[in-house]
């Protein structure tokens, strides 16, 4: 059977469980609340930076258009005297605005008369949208790949070149059309805008930015998404305001995504671009998870610390209980001791007093029971054990004899001449005689032996004897008893003499059953009576005592 856990260990374990559970509960609640707050904060930030980027793109496009409009109003273009002056002006403009990949000046038929770096001069672009739309008015075209310029412009990255077109008609001094000012803005300009605005945020939060066209195709973003059309549910939301939402992207992962639509700038209506800023949801929740982990870590440490403190405190408060338990163990072992009288704390003091009173009450009851048991097992006249005591003693005597590989010598005694003394001197004298006989029988015994009065003038001796000397020691005790009882007895100044007959048997030498051995001893007593009395007879020897 496993020993029960101590109060100290249970208390320490309870503290560990409570603190750990509280830490887990607080960590979970705080983590959930922090996750919600972080999601809202990061979502607003993503929506805000998305708006900043799309606003910057709109402003830059509007400013490029303004530059060209100002350029178109110059006399050198409206009434050119020398085409070289126009080419020099265009080269200077491209140098000042690097995002302009190409800019050219055409006649009314669409033939390029002058251009930056002389590229496409003499080539007709009459069928290109940049000319067709620009001849009608200010034209700002959406992103497209290069056709004529792909092999003519430098391309260090090797990636497909993309442009945004800006073109407008040129009118002479008389107001008549004289040509078109057409330009291709490198789409790499949008990447430069993204880096200048977003790189710090992208490094700090692992944020990605995408620019979508009006048809939701990816114009700028991760290489694997370029040209794909996104089908995000939030894109179906017709909102002119920036907003954020958690979206499931084509890679199957949830992202916290900020949205901002192009709203144009001043007279520039915009091209319907949508800027998205996204961050993996797990990345956004990382601070909340780290905080939850720290709370659980600190909670575990505090649980162990409080458990140690609880262990020490419980030891201090349970020390009085251990003192009471130690005193109770000593009482159980039969030692004479008292339950300590403790005064603090009050509950233990009450327990101490209650146990003290209980022990005192039980002691009094046990004393009373012992007295009653002594009376129940003692002969009231002689003080010798009676039959009840004998029946209780015999099993213990058997066990002790077996444990020590010994024997029990069973001696039945019957007084000879008691009835005449009782008749001659009276019953009172007879009682005195029996009391004297009891005293003499006790003197014949050794430690561990017993003599009991069976009734009237019959007695029984139980002797603990070793097997190899069982017959010899039994006879010695029998002879000593005969001699002790043969001496005269003084009865109120008058002397009386009695003797006794003894019948003996040995257990288990004479018989393995104790009852049968007693019967053999009784039969030996009968033989001693009929052989002349005042003698001892044994079952085996059946020799008269010397």
Regarding whether 200 and 62 lie in a shared domain, the answer is: yes
Amino acid 541: pLDDT = 47
Regarding whether 414 and 286 lie in a shared domain, the answer is: no
Residue 503 scores a pLDDT above 90? yes
Which of 320, 336, 370 lies at the terminal end of a domain, its last residue?
A: 320
The chain-wide mean pLDDT, for the chain, equals 79
Amino acid 98: pLDDT = 79
Amino acid 461: pLDDT = 93
Q: 279 in helix, strand or coil?
A: strand
Give CA angle at 532 (441, 480), nearest 5°: 25
Express as a percent the part of the chain with pLDDT over 70.
Answer: 74
Helix (H), strand (E) at residue 215: none
Which of 272, 294, 320 lies at the terminal end of a domain, its last residue?
A: 320
**CA 326, 332, 337, 342: dihedral to nearest 10 degrees?**
40
Regarding whether 192 and 111 lie in a shared domain, the answer is: yes
CA-closest candidate to residue 459, choices 494, 425, 415:
415
Helices (H), 444-508: 470-486
Regarding whether 27 and 126 lie in a shared domain, the answer is: yes
Residue 75 scores a pLDDT above 70? yes
Regarding whether 445 and 304 lie in a shared domain, the answer is: no
Q: Is 470 a domain residue?
A: yes
Q: Is 349 a domain residue?
A: no
CA-closest candidate to residue 162, choices 149, 146, 175, 176:
146
Amino acid 462: pLDDT = 92
Q: Is 309 a domain residue?
A: yes
For residue 199, name the pLDDT band (cuts at 50, 70, 90). low
Regarding whether 302 and 175 lie in a shared domain, the answer is: yes
For residue 83, name the pLDDT band (cuts at 50, 70, 90). confident
- Range in 21-25, 86-90, 189-193, 506-510 with the lowest mean pLDDT: 21-25
pLDDT in tens, 124-166: 888 888 888 888 888 888 877 766 666 666 655 556 667 788 8
Q: Which two tokens stand for residue 390?
A: 């004998």
Catalytically active residues, by annotation: 457
For residue 513, name the pLDDT band (cuts at 50, 70, 90). very high
Report how far residue 96's alpha carbon sits from residue 358's, in angstroms, rounded to the nearest whole number.
107
Q: Is 345 a domain residue?
A: no
Q: Which two tokens stand for residue 467?
A: 């097997």
Q: Is 262 a domain residue?
A: no
Regarding whether 417 and 296 lie in a shared domain, the answer is: no
Residue 1 scores a pLDDT above 50? no
Regarding whether 302 and 436 lie in a shared domain, the answer is: no
Supply the CATH number for residue 190's domain.
Answer: 3.30.450.20
Regarding whether 299 and 435 lie in a shared domain, the answer is: no
For residue 542, name the pLDDT band (cuts at 50, 70, 90). very low
The backbone torsions φ and ψ at residue 187, rounded to the nearest 5 degrees and listed phi first, read -70, -15
Regarding whether 152 and 42 lie in a shared domain, the answer is: yes
Amino acid 303: pLDDT = 67
Which of 320, 349, 368 lies at the terminal end of a domain, its last residue?
A: 320
b/e per residue 26-51 (b: at least 16 CB within 10 A): ebeeebeebbeebbeebbebbbebbb
Structural domains of the chain, count: 2
Regarding whether 388 and 309 lie in a shared domain, the answer is: no
pTM for this model (two decimals): 0.52
Regarding whether 297 and 178 lie in a shared domain, the answer is: yes
Supply the CATH number for residue 476's domain.
Answer: 3.30.70.270
38: containing domain: 1-204+280-320
pLDDT in tens, 221-254: 787 888 888 888 888 877 777 888 888 888 888 8
pLDDT in tens, 455-486: 888 999 999 999 888 889 999 999 999 999 88
Report how far residue 530's alpha carbon sits from residue 528's, in angstroms, rounded to the nearest whole number.
6
Q: Is 233 a domain residue?
A: no
Q: Is 496 a domain residue?
A: yes
Q: Is 427 a domain residue?
A: yes
- Range in 255-259, 301-305, 531-535 with the lowest mean pLDDT: 301-305
Strand partners, 176: none
Report how far residue 409's alpha carbon sits from residue 517's, in angstroms, rounded to the nearest whole number.
9
Residue 280 scores a pLDDT above 70? yes
pLDDT in tens, 383-396: 889 888 888 889 98
Q: 270 in helix, strand or coil?
A: coil
194 within 8 A of 275, measured Cβ to Cβ: no
Q: Calculate the alpha carbon distances from 489 to 186, 214, 433, 484, 539 in Å.
A: 147, 140, 7, 11, 31
């Amino acid at each position: 059977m496993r020993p029960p856990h101590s109060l100290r260990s249970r208390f320490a374990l309870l503290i560990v469980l409570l603190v750990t559970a509280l830490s887990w509960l607080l960590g979970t609640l705080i983590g959930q609340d922090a996750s919600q707050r972080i999601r809202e904060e990061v979502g607003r930030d993503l929506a805000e930076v998305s708006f900043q980027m799309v606003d910057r793109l709109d402003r830059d496009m509007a400013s490029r258009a303004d530059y060209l409009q100002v350029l178109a109003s110059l006399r050198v273009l409206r009434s050119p005297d020398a085409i070289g002056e126009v080419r020099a002006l265009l080269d200077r403009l491209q140098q000042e605005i690097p995002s302009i990949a190409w800019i050219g000046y055409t006649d009314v038929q669409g033939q390029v008369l002058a251009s930056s770096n002389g590229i496409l001069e003499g080539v007709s672009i009459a069928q290109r949208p940049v000319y067709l739309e620009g001849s009608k008015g200010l034209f700002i075209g959406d992103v497209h790949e290069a056709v004529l310029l792909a092999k003519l412009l430098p391309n260090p990255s090797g990636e497909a070149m993309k442009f945004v077109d800006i073109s407008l008609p040129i009118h002479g001094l008389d107001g008549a059309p004289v040509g078109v000012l057409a330009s291709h803005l490198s789409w790499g300009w949008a990447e430069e805008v993204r880096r200048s605005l977003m790189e710090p945020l992208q490094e700090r939060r692992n944020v990605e930015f995408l620019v979508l066209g009006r048809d939701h195709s990816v114009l700028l973003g991760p290489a694997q998404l370029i040209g794909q059309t996104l089908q995000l549910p939030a894109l179906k939301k017709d909102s002119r305001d920036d907003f954020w939402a958690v979206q499931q992207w084509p890679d199957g992962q949830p992202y916290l995504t900020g949205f901002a639509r192009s709203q144009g700038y001043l007279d520039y209506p915009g091209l319907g671009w949508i800027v998205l800023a996204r961050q993996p949801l797990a990345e956004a929740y990382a601070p909340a998870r780290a905080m939850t982990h720290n709370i659980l870590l600190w909670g575990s440490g505090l649980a162990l610390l409080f458990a140690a403190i609880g262990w020490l405190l419980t030891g201090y408060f349970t020390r009085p209980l251990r003192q009471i338990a130690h005193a109770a163990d000593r009482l159980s072992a039969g030692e004479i001791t008292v339950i300590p009288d403790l005064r603090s704390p009050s509950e233990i003091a009450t327990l101490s007093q209650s146990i003290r009173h209980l022990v005192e009450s039980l002691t009094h009851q046990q004393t009373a029971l012992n007295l009653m048991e002594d009376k129940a097992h003692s002969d009231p006249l002689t003080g010798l054990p009676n039959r009840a005591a004998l029946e209780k003693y015999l099993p213990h005597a058997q066990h002790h004899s077996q444990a020590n590989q010994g024997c029990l010598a069973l001696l039945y005694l019957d007084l000879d001449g008691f009835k005449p003394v009782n008749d001659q001197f009276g019953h009172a004298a007879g009682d005195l005689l029996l009391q004297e006989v009891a005293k003499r029988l006790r003197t014949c015994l050794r430690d561990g032996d017993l003599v009991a009065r069976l009734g009237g003038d019959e007695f029984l001796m139980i002797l603990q004897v070793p097997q190899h000397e069982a017959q010899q020691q039994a006879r010695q005790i029998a002879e000593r008893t005969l001699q002790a009882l043969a001496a005269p007895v003084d009865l109120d100044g008058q002397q009386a003499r009695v003797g006794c007959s003894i019948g003996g048997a040995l257990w288990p030498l004479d018989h393995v059953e104790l009852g049968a051995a007693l019967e053999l001893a009784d039969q030996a007593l009968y033989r001693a009576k009929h052989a002349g009395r005042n003698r001892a007879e044994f079952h085996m020897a059946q020799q008269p005592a010397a």
